Amino acid sequence: MVTPLMIDKLDFRVPADAPYSRDFSALYQEIANNPKGPFRQGRHYLKSACLQEYGHPVVLHVHCLHGKRGDHKLELLDTGTMSYSQMADVTTRVFKVRPEDLRIMRIDFAADVPGVPVTWFEKHVLAKYKRWVAEIGKLDAGIEFASMGRRGVETLYLGRRPNLFRIYNKIAEYRAQFDRQMAALRRNHQQRDIDLPTFQQLFGYPETGLILTRVERQINSRIPEQLATFGYLRNSPSFNPFAPLVFAETGKPQPSPDDYDLPTYATGMLIRGLVEQGGIHRAKQFLNRHSKRNANRILKRHVDFLPPADEVAISPEKLFELYQESVSRQLAA
């Protein structure tokens, strides 16, 4: 069973002169220059390799090719299932360093929100400073493709890499993982009858009948100073990664045309249609394009026409609370 924890991705910068641990040094000497080994030359690093099959859940990037220092990068895999102490252990099994001193290059924070679909966030949530938005139809075998279809929006991106928000259907992602794992098990046991685990046994959630949306903040540059090093991750519960998200005000279920003059009513119903069709972020982009960037003023004037509140709503305070509860468990373990 997966027990999701909310530091979901973590990359470190490791000084170029940091020695490998004794055990890893022997492994590195064995595989580093083997043409059939895992290491491959890259654009930004001398060589890189995923070392999970060797018992190290990391991707190691050796010596950056840019700048003078030539530092390494260590990507920790599956940190969403690791405690703080486990992440430290994974690091010291590769490098002989004090993990607390390592600078963070990328960190992803997340919160799982039950009962609130991706489409609700699409209609009600904006991100400050993010002018770009995209919807992705679904996740399938690691490939994302734009498709609305009858399934609706599965993933919503606000912003661009290296810093963005990703809001997606977590059950759909688990379902894709489950299909891949079951296919691999069947291939590896073609001649034998085996008891395959159920979806709920693997992930702790039912495969159908549950809405679970993950809200994820990816920070890949300009790491906040209070989170600059692995040791500073102890500050994570007091840091709100979702502070740039703006929850739009909610309107009336059905504004009456008798309560407004014609221009106000016509503009308001246009705004409601834009939000229903493409989400609040796209509606704001449209208004900015056609009003000399006065979208905020127009939305405030026509707040009655924004999508109404409903029983699935979540507040900024509740989202932060869900994140704090989970990240505190991760750091305490």
> Are the C-beta atoms of residues 92 and 86 closer than 8 Å to each other?
no
pTM of the model: 0.82
Does 212 fall in a domain? Answer: yes
- In angstroms, the CA 301 to CA 96 distance is 60
Write down the residue that tokens 């799982």 correspond to: 112
Q: Give pLDDT, residue 20.
A: 97
Looking at the fold, whether 178 and 262 belong to one and the same domain comes out as no
For the stretch 254-260, contacts whose Cβ atoms lie closer than 8 Å and that sit 24 or more positions apart, written own/partner, are 255/304, 255/305
If asked whether residues 224 and 273 sit together in one domain, one would say no
What is the bridge-based pairing of β-strands 72-76 and 7-14? antiparallel
Output the CA–CA distances (angstroms, integers) from residue 226 to 231, 244, 259, 290, in the order listed.
10, 17, 50, 40
Q: Of 8, 1, 11, nearest to 215 (Cα)? A: 8
DSSP label at residue 102: P
121 & 67 share domain: yes
305: three-class secondary structure by DSSP: helix
Question: Which ranges in the chain belong to alpha helices (H)?
Answer: 22-31, 84-92, 118-124, 170-188, 199-203, 262-278, 280-289, 295-301, 316-332
Amino acid making up residue 319: L
Does 172 reside within a domain? yes
pLDDT at residue 181, rounded to an integer: 85
Distance CA 150, CA 217 (A): 27
The answer to whether position 1 is within a domain reads no
Both 177 and 265 in a single domain?
no
- Residue 53 burial (C-beta neighbours within 10 Å; 0-12, 13-18, 19+): exposed
Q: Are residues 68 and 183 in the same domain?
A: yes
| Domain count within the chain | 2
How many whole angstroms separate alpha carbon 293 and alpha carbon 277?
21
Co-location of 160 and 205 in the same domain: yes
Q: Which residue has the tokens 């055990």?
A: 23
Verify that 18 and 31 share a domain, yes or no: yes
Q: Are residues 19 and 82 in the same domain?
A: yes
Same-domain status, 166 and 188: yes
Give the model's pLDDT for residue 136: 58
Q: How many CB atoms lie within 10 A of CB 218?
A: 20
Domain that holds residue 277: 251-305
- Based on the fold, state whether residues 171 and 256 are members of the same structural domain: no
Mean pLDDT per segment of 10 residues, for the chain of length 333 residues? 68 96 95 92 94 95 93 93 92 97 95 91 83 53 33 74 87 87 80 78 88 92 91 93 90 94 97 92 92 92 89 85 89 78
Residue 146, pLDDT score: 33
